[in-house]
A and B are shown apart, each in its own frame.
Chain A
Amino acid sequence: MALVVDLLTQGLQLILVLALAPLLTGFVRKVKARLLRRQGPSVWQPYRDLLRLARKEVVLAENASWLFRTAPYLIFAATWAAAALVPTFASGLIFSWTADLIAIIALLGSARFFLALAGMDVGTAFGGIGSSREAMIASVAEPAILMMVFTVALVAGSSQLSTVARFMGSPEVGLRVSIGLALFALFIVALAENARIPVDNPATHLELTMVHEAMVLEYSGRHLAVIEVASSLKLLLYVSLIGCIFVPWGMAASGAGIADYALGLALYLAKIVVLALGLALFESAIAKMRVFRVPQFVGAALMLGLLGTLLLFF
């Protein structure tokens, strides 16, 4: 019985992240629009966009190779796998032992690797500029998040997210400087990894300022739809990650009753709403940085993560 419940939880999580991801994107857009005193599109608009994109034909650049056509699916699969392993409403995911937090980060790295390659495939300057800048940002952001992972893993004594969530929800954690530093680092990395302001602008199509959009410029139709889903999933993953590590309260433990699961789900949605509001506020309040300021911004996260880890060695 317990096994069935655990399997159901994992299956539900798998579908939940996929279903919620576009909604989160739509919600952030809506809030940002309202903050600018615009009406903004409905929160359901991303779903409509995806459906329309999926129904349209693909216009493929003449020089595009098989890698360009397979990359969206690989990016989506790697991101989905990572997102399915971050506990959202219940902490006891049955496949949590498949990949720990380091592996989840590396799965996102795989997705980025193929996205950057896809950007290079057609052979225009836009794709190149996107890939090359993405490589630069990732070269600082990835060690930064790994340092954050180290901090969390050292505090919780485990790098498995289910265990981490359980530990961080228990009173043994207490108040630690390292956790605060890690949280700060994770915020910065989440902005950089999801191509948000001030690192990148998800709404721009001004070529010289874009990173993520430049890489996917040649994509159209269903390929673009799959890539859009993957980026939404990534945003949801980071939001869930912050929720799971730093505010794991209310998560249903394995073997809990229906009421606990319902409470966990409600609290999870509340956490998403709060974090999305925070993201929209932050993005509306700050201007985009010059590209070469970004390494300093993300480098700060690296230093915070390293400091957090070093403090734990004392």
Chain B
Amino acid sequence: MTILVVLSCVGLLLALPVAAIGIGARFTANSVIYGLAMVACLASLAAALGHLLADTGLVPAVTLPLGLPWLGAHFRLDALSAFFLAVVDLGGAAASLYGLGYGRHETAPRRVLPFFPVFVAGMQLVVLADDAFTFLFSWEFMSLASWALVIADHHERDNVRAGYVYLVMASFGTAALLLAFGLLAGPDGGYGFAAIRAASHSPASASLVLALLLLGAGSKAGLVPLHVWLPLAHPAAPSHVSALMSGVMTKVAIYAFVRVVFDLLGEPQWWWSMPVLALGGITAVLGVLYALMQHDLKRLLAYHTVENIGIIYIGLGLALAFRAEGLPAVAALALTAALFHVLNHMTFKSLLFFGAGAVLTVTGERDMEHLGGLIHRMPATAFAFLIGCAAISALPPFNGFVSEWLTFQAVLQGPKLALWGPKLLVPSVGALLALSAALAAGCFVKAFGVTFLSRPRSTAAATACDVDRFSLATMLLLALLCLLAGILPGLVIDTWGPVVGNLVGQRMPVQSVEPWLTIIPVAAGRSSYNGLLVFLFIAWAALTAAQVIHRWASHAMRRGPAWDCGYPDASPLTQYSASGFAQPIRRVFGSVVFRATEEVDMPPPGDTGPARLTVMVHDLVWATFYEPVARAIGILADRLNAFQYLTIRKYLSFVFVALVVLLLALELWL
């Protein structure tokens, strides 16, 4: 029953493009499409959550006569699917609500409206699919729908390039997944997930599948060095789609990884955790360092997604390591941390992209160097964005802190590991995680400080006003979710007990029975955290301090000009800029990571010409991994030119030689 509800929601979403094309009036189309999409997402969310909370152990499945005639399309809603479906639905519903207001500002709504519901439906289908064919079809469907949304604003040259890079990387990723499922299905072609799960996989082919998964799912999620398309494509789309791509689609990629590695592949081998941990750690630190160097708000957020994916992969890697060594209780902790971060990142990254979209709508600017002072003119947006920033910087009492805290607790269980490889990697990854958390706080001080605080750096920023009520409602609701998940983590963790139980064989201890809603991941004497009390204490202490001072001391206040060192009316350009803010961190970390160099061209004394500062930042990932490939393809294409415009005799002899060689090869092989 549940799965039919869910599938009819998908069906409704798939039917919506027809309505989008059918309804001529722009205003109505916008309301109808986003309204219905939100209803479909909420219905599906209710079904998924109901299934997850009921925890009956029943796994509804259905086979529809679609797709390959001898296979059909299998759909199944187990706990893992239900969890990720809930994440997709929550993100989809939020984006639809936001779209109700934001979509009215769209210049070409017909390039967005038909694809939006289809994109959401594609993501839902991926998490529901129960055979390789349906999975890959939905995966590609999701990719193409999002690609269409990336190039919605095709007048911008950058967007077209982003679309091109995205298409190439998405094809590459799907190809890797195709090969992975080919290996999983084996020569007999058992494409159903049940058959794959039942089959035994040789260590070599299982390891190959892991590598292909890291390439295929990793490129969609944004693992370094496969992340290059992400900061191009995510910001290019309209902001609510950016939120979906960054907040939700990367989670679908995480789902693909978890589904195959934790569910379909069977028992992990001892070394599997090592590449996952190493890639996760590197991704987390590089992602946030790249983000710090950006001054385009949406691109900064997109790069920051890369960091969060790294954190999630660290959690998954820890879970793999503990599971491989027969420590299911700790593996459950690590997996819970990763899943918690999946949910958290969906909420706060969507919130932040919505905030960036609001700024973009009212000022027409994405470049932080032209913004500033928006807290005065967009107070509600600024408040919600601030909560998103605090949450993503892993500050208590918000939700981002809880998932990082859980990950740290899993790292602290590292000495229980017996094997040297993972054991030595775990503390190093812990250090990388700590480093990325600290850098993230700096990154979001910069993002919020330059965009919303300080003085406006352009007239657009000085004359802005707050956005429509739908956008505001979405942002404030998500901000509330960030706080609630942060102060009631026990209730949230218990929700996906069955998911963790199915995947690693043991659940976390039930948290909601602990007194005062404390979370105790391992044992009461080891560590515990109570977000609710922390929040209440901070609120109480701040209010009391304010009250005591206002009651017993002065509450007089006067406005005056800021301290200007005797140079009045300094231009807003004398403030710290986004690049200026990141300069110390660029000097500390960037000289190694980006080979960043600075050249100062100072005119001699007496010369009134301007001084110039040139900063060179190299993207080493692009230079190391992509440029050689692009060059090789170019050279190969040039060489192959020689084979064009030959005579028919030469072509015929090529065909003949190829045939003979193939036959010989076949003869030798058999």
Contact = CB atoms under 8 A, between A and B. Distances in A.
Nearest to A118: B453
Contact of B580 (A100, A132, A310): A132
A163 B538 contact: no
A96 to B, nearest CB: 9
B431 A57 contact: no
Contacts, number: 279
Given A113-B445, A143-B431, A98 B529 contact: yes
B557 A57 contact: yes
Interface residues of A, number: 85
A70 to B, nearest CB: 8
Contact of A292 (B426, B576, B587): B587
A89 interface: no
13 contacts: A59-B560, A67-B386, A76-B545, A81-B537, A117-B386, A120-B576, A141-B438, A153-B412, A163-B526, A218-B563, A222-B553, A309-B427, A313-B414
Interface in A101-135: 102-103, 106-107, 109-110, 112-113, 116-117, 119-129, 131-133, 135
A112 B441 contact: yes
Contacts of B453: 65, 67, 117, 120-121, 123
A77 interface: yes
A159 interface: yes
Contact of B584 (A60, A70, A107, A132): A132
- Classify the secondary structure of A's interface with B: helix
A280 B327 CA distance: 49
Nearest to B541: A77
Contact of A217 (B382, B563, B582): B563
B376 interface: yes
A123 B396 contact: no
Contacts of A139: 435, 438-439, 442, 585, 588-589
B534 A99 contact: yes
Contact of A123 (B393, B572, B581, B585): B572
Contacts of A113: 390, 393, 395, 441, 444-445
Contact of A147 (B395, B431, B446, B582): B431
Contact of B395 (A106, A120, A153): A106
Nearest to A75: B542
Given A131-B581, A218-B563, A136 B442 contact: yes
B561 interface: yes
A113 to B, nearest CB: 6
Q: Which of A76, A81, A112, A159 has the largest count of B CB atoms less than 10 A from its CB?
A: A81
A58 interface: yes
Interface string B414-447: 1100000001101110110011011101101110
Contacts of A95: 533
Given A57-B558, A99-B529, A113-B393, A65 B375 contact: yes
B533 A98 contact: yes
Interface string B199-230: 00000000000000000000000000000000
B641 interface: no
Contacts of B408: 102, 146
A62 B560 contact: yes
Nearest to B556: A57
A283 interface: no
Contact of B438 (A67, A121, A143, A217): A143
Contacts of B543: 73
A313 B576 contact: no
A97 B528 CA distance: 5
A168 B445 CA distance: 37
Interface string B566-587: 0000101011100011111101
Given A106-B394, A139-B438, A310-B424, A124 B562 contact: yes
Contacts of B557: 57-60, 221
B525 interface: yes
B411 interface: yes
